[in-house]
Structure 1
C-alpha cells in the first residue's frame, strides 16, 4: 500500500514539472522514461495485488462448480428451510390413507403407505407423498415434484 501511494505521489509530482524545465534531449528522455516507468510499476502492483486476492479467495470455495463461500452455505441452508416451510403452507391439506386402493408407495422414500398414515398431495400435479417426506424434500430447497418435476411456484 505504501509503495502504491509513493508511486502515485511521484507520478503526480513528475507530471507537474513542465518539460521545458528539462533542457537537454537526454534529460527529456530520462524524464519521459521515469513517468512511463512509474506508470508501469503502478499497474504491475495493482495487478499483482488483484492476483493475490484471487488466489486467497480460491480457498473459500467448497467444490469447483458450487461457488459458495463457507459463510454463505449456512445462510443458504436457512433460506431453504424457510422456503420449504412456506411452501408447505401452499399445499392442500394432508389426508389420511383409508382404503386398500390408496395403498401405493411414496415416490421419495419408496415405502408403501399404510392405513391411517398422513399423506400430502403436491398441489400442482396431485402426486401423493408421505407428509414428512414431502416436508423434508421441500426443506432441502427442492420446489418441484419428484415424479413429474412440475414446480410448485409456477
Structure 2
C-alpha cells in the first residue's frame, strides 16, 4: 500500500513538473515570436510615441554635431584626470571631448554621441539637451 502511494505521489509531482515546463516553454516561444517579429508591439508602440517629425528617442545627428567638441588639454596643476561617465575611463590629453552646454559636464565625444543617439539628457544630471524642448522652455511653453 505504501509503495503504491509513493508511486502515485511521485508520478503526480513529475506530471505537474512536466506540465509546468511545457507551459513555460510554450509561453516563452510565443513571447519570443511576438518580441522578435518584424513590426512587433514594441516597435508599434515606439512608432506611435514618436514625435510627428519622425525623430527617434535621442537627438538627431545634426543636433549632436552642433554640440561643441574640442581636444582635451589637462589644466596645469590639476589633480586627477576627469572621468567620462559613459565609459568610466579617464579623459586623457589629446582626446576629442564634448562639454555639454546645458550643464558643463565633460565626456569623450564618441561616448556622449552614442549616448545622445538614444537619449536627450545628460547621463549625470539629466539636463535636457533637446533643441525643441529647450526652445519651448525658453519661450515659456514648456510642460511642468
Whichever structure has more helix as a proportion of its residues is 1
